[in-house]
Chains A and B, each alone.
Chain A
Amino acid sequence: MDRLLRQAAGLGGAALGKLQHTRIPGVGQASTTEPADVAARRWRAVTVFRDDLAGPFPELEALGPDLEVRMQPAAGGRGTELYGRFHGTPDADRIGELRAALRRTKQLAEVGEVLRVDPATHGTRRPTPQGAALEGAAARAPREGVL
């Protein structure tokens, strides 16, 4: 049963990734017109509601020297756009790390800390494949999305 649940958790995370990267119009975020390697080389960005945003950004620096970072003022007084892009063609996991790091950097700049939710109070977790799949998806969620 434990093995089944571990597999289900893995599948949940994979399913979320699949949802994001399915090349169907209106489903997930993957481009239906660009090759995957072109999409992988795009800049990922967050807009930080701070006009005076300045580095260093430890969360981004931790991703290594392959990461290129740039900033520019956002239109309409919305703060500063913070961009990151890896040299070469990164894989999905690497892009996921960048998404999560950009989000953490934004929170640190705007709020001063990264919001935590775990450990959340809960009752009995029934060991079901559906539940394990959901946990897998939730664990992967910070690294997925539109960035």
Chain B
Amino acid sequence: MKAAIWAGVDEVTVEDVPEPQLLNDHDVLLRIHKTVTCGSDLHLIGGYIPAMRSGDVLGHEFLGTVVEKGRAVQRVQVGDRVVVPSFVACGSCWYCSQELYSLCDNGNPDPGITEGLWGQSPGGCFGYSHAMGGYAGSHAEYMRVPYADVGCFVVPDGVSDTRALFASDSVTTGWTGAHLGGTQPGDVVAVWGAGAVGQMAARAAMLLGAEQVVVIDRLPERLAQVRTHIGAEAVDFSTTDVVAELRERTGGRGPDVCIEAVGMEAHSTGVQGAFDQVKQQLRLQTDRPSAVREAIRACRKGGSVFVLGVYAGMVDKFPLGALMNKGLTVRGAQQHGQRYVPEILAHMESGALTTEHLATHTMPLSQAAEGYRIFKAKEDGCVRTVFEPGS
């Protein structure tokens, strides 16, 4: 079968690879209909997360049909059209019982790597390096999904493939940030980053009752999507003092909840941007945290900052004094998708949550390299490139 693989730093190719097989009784095999690029893939492709092996199959946001199932799988049937969160969770450990699925104790077969880095191991993730389990990703014609009864969700007939596709990661990640960030009815929520995850965090905050939602980015086409498709306010950080703007829009208080949906390759202006770029290139810090710094600065006293963007290691000049003295709650997480997908699919079915506008580019899997190039360059207004392995 064909698959898009990581061949080296900044190198994506499409190759013939062996088809996957059932390895555990709780597995299913999917035929992939749609699979999509993610901003966090760029950290892998660019070599920022040094646990990729050449030949690894990329992709962690996908939708497909069950074509084969293990003998212990009960809830999912062959022929079901399913969407699957990107994190692998067993559904049986204490973390899963608390609906903290991306922290599953039994989802990462290689826990020694991340325990060495972070002190504990989160769950595994499809197509996301050997630090996160070494699972083959979704940019392929077929894919293995472990713990299928926990991770596979049947898509309602009234929801299109393209809409449901983003319930796999973008919406679930955004929902995780808005919900665990503590969004309450009446809150003001600010979101850094107007990519798919940031837009979906904003929409989730609105559906959770936020009264005012502001999204911050620098790309005009993404800010336009925020206004048109999400119904939130948009601020261009390249021409606006974000902290002053948020203060002015909130009666001097600052947002109640600040969600950072940018990650380790954040762009920023001026001295701060140059400082972070130089330190990262010299390997004196692994991640560029400018959006997190700004979120902490902007947040109201006693408010909540949620780190939703992907970070891998160490950052410098972290405003710990502001965090402590302003009494902030800072929380972060990968997505706990298995908790939120049923609610998300219900919103998608009702029309309250739409995602089709995120799929700005659709192409066959054979064009994966070009799809990632356009996505990385944000060329032609690209928000996400969707691959169709069957076309």
Q: Which residues of A contact B (CB under 8 A)?
A: 16, 19-20, 28-29, 47, 49, 78-79, 99, 103, 106-107, 110-113, 115-126, 128, 131, 134-135, 137-138, 140-146
Contacts and interface: CB of A to CB of B under 8 A. Distances in A.
B105 A138 contact: no
Given A110-B106, A121-B18, A142-B110, A49 B94 contact: yes
Contacts of B18: 119, 121
Nearest to A13: B112
B231 interface: no
Contacts of A99: 112
B7 A138 contact: no
B109 A117 contact: yes
B57 A145 contact: no
B134 A126 contact: no
B119 interface: yes
Interface residues of B, number: 54
B142 to A, nearest CB: 8
A116 B18 CA distance: 17
B120 interface: yes
A5 B116 CA distance: 24
Contacts of A112: 25, 72
B135 A117 contact: yes
Given A111-B92, A117-B135, A146-B120, A16 B24 contact: no
B23 A111 contact: no
Given A111-B92, A117-B133, A121-B18, A126 B111 contact: no
Residue picked from B53, B92, B144, most chain A C-beta under 10 Å = B53
A124 B119 CA distance: 32
Contact of B55 (A29, A122, A140): A122
B97 interface: yes
The prevalent SS among residues of A at the interface is: loop
14 contacts: A16-B113, A110-B93, A111-B90, A113-B25, A115-B106, A115-B146, A117-B124, A119-B21, A120-B134, A121-B136, A122-B55, A123-B5, A134-B50, A145-B116
B117 to A, nearest CB: 8
B217 to A, nearest CB: 34
> Which of B8, B18, B93, B116 has its CB near the most chain A CB atoms (within 10 A)?
B116
B53 A123 contact: no
Contacts of A117: 23, 109-110, 124, 133-135
Nearest to A76: B94
B109 A116 contact: yes
Given A121-B144, A123-B55, A144 B94 contact: no
B289 to A, nearest CB: 18
Contacts of A78: 94
B352 interface: no
Contact of B54 (A28, A107, A125, A140): A125
A121 B110 CA distance: 17
B121 interface: yes
B130 A137 contact: yes
